Structure formats: structure tokens, C-alpha cells
Amino acid sequence: MASAPEHRRDQRVGVPLDDRGRPCPRAALGRRYGHSLHFWELDSGRHLQRVDLGDENQMVLELRPAHDPEATWGFANTVVNVEDLSASVWLWNREGEDFVVHKVITIPARPAQAEDLPPALQPFGAAPPMITDIDLSVDDQWLYVSAWGTGELYQYDVSDPFHPRQTASVRLGGIVGRQPHPAEPDVLLTGGAQMVEISRDGRRVYLTNSLYAAWDAQFYPAGIDPWMVKLDADTSHGGLSVDSRFFPHGSDFLGLRVHQTRLQGGDASSDSYCYRR
């Protein structure tokens, strides 16, 4: 995948960079990031299939296979559609010898005044949701989708993975209309819902707000004050509420950015089960 002349490429991760070494939004808008899913047979290392999601759907970022070792389906996301700034979640499933992929969730961009947007987004008059993480509960019933650009975390019932049903959402931070944490309602949060982790019982959901320093600076140019939140999830009927008692932030992280969360004893994304018959 060749980069445009004004960009160089980070050889470690194959990401187009600008002249200052930052991942470049123009590269995404120029359709220079990945937009395909690849399937391999692990026993032999043989590449089985490539499924192209369309080059308008940039950055296939996260993969969440079903935890059920008998299942042949899972979810992936794309960060941004360059035609309308929406973001999407896709379901893959095996049918016979082939894998098929369907778009099952679309989250639209949020209209905004240009003066409220960072320079990279001002020409578009909207804040893209930018799905930067998804997480699937251990029982494969609940899918959580974080929209880092708008600050929203969505909960979907995926007991029928072909037809996800939104059951709840919360909003914290965001590029525009920044939302506070209930523990400090007068303080508007910086950054947005980003990395998401689920406890093994599915009842606790944790969020952090930093994606990657170079992207943080471009989409949140005023800076990101680190925070971590806990949400209580209703695993019977669906629902999310912010735990006002849990809000490490700012000086709790000694100036560091916060990204991935891991839970002692295991969590939904650590516990992926594989076995041989």
C-alpha cells in the first residue's frame, strides 16, 4: 500500500505519517489505511481469504471473535467512512468453506460548528464518531462500542449477532459538547470513551480516554487530561450507568496517558478460548 509523496511510513506498523511523524488524517481521507479482513488457517499458516470492506471504510482496527469455541463468527470495526464520517461494525461468519462479512452497525457523524472542531475536522462541519474499540462480553451476548470522537459508549444486545440491538449508551467527553463525570459535574472531560474492558461476569465496564499521543493531539488539540471510569451494566435487560464513586483522573496518573485496562483474574478480551478436538 503506497503512501502519497508528502507522507512517509512508520516501518513498525505500516501507518502513513506526516512530516512531523504523526499519523495523518489526510492519509485516512485519501483512503490509504487498511480496509480488508484476512482469514488464515492457523494449523498450516495458509491464507484462506481476503474480504474487502470498501476503501471508503478506513482502518479496520479491532477484532472480537466469539468466545464460544464452536462459533465461527466475530465482530470487527472500521474507524471512519471517508464519504460521510460515519463509523461501522461488521460481522464475519463462516458459510461452508467461505467467510462472509456484513455491516451490522452504523454510527453517524455528529454535526458541529466549524469553530468548535479541531483544524483537521473544520472543513467537514461534523465530529466523526471514530469507533476506536469494541469489546464482546464473555457470554457473547453484549457488545460494547466506543466512539472516541463523540465520547459515546454504546451497548448492544448481540444474542442474535446478525441483528445487534442497541440497549444503552453513555456519553463522556467528546470533541464537541464535552460531557462531565457525575462525580465532578462542573468539569468538562477531555478526550472521549476509548479503550473498553468488561469484567468476566459482564457487570462492570471500564473506559479510558487516550487513543495514541499523535492522534490525541490532532483531534483533542487542547490536550487530554487522563481519566478512567467504571460503568455498571445491566446484564439481564440491558442498561448502563456511570459509577460516581470510581473516577481516577488527573494527578492519579502522574501526568501519564491511560489506555489499556486489564482486570485481575481475567476479563472479556483477555479470555479468548481456543482448543483442539
- Computed over its alpha carbons, how large is the radius of gyration of the chain? 19
- At residue 81, the pLDDT reads 94
- Structure pTM? 0.89
State the Cα–Cα distance between residues 163 and 157, nearest whole angstrom. 9
- At residue 212, the pLDDT reads 86
Pick from 120, 131, 133: nearest CA to 57: 131
Q: What is the pLDDT along the chain (277 residues), one digit of tens a residue?
A: 222 333 333 333 344 445 555 555 666 667 878 899 999 998 999 999 999 999 999 999 999 999 998 899 999 999 999 999 999 999 999 999 999 999 999 999 999 999 999 988 998 899 999 999 999 999 999 999 999 999 999 999 999 999 999 999 999 999 999 999 999 999 999 999 999 999 999 999 999 999 988 889 889 999 999 999 999 999 999 999 999 999 999 899 988 889 888 888 889 987 666 544 4
State the Cα–Cα distance between residues 230 and 166, nearest whole angstrom. 20
State the Cα–Cα distance between residues 43 and 38, nearest whole angstrom. 16
State CA 158 to chain mean position distance.
17
State the Cα–Cα distance between residues 60 and 10, nearest whole angstrom. 17
- At residue 3, the pLDDT reads 29
For residue 223, give the amino acid letter. G
For the record, the C-alpha cell of 258 comes out as: 491511560
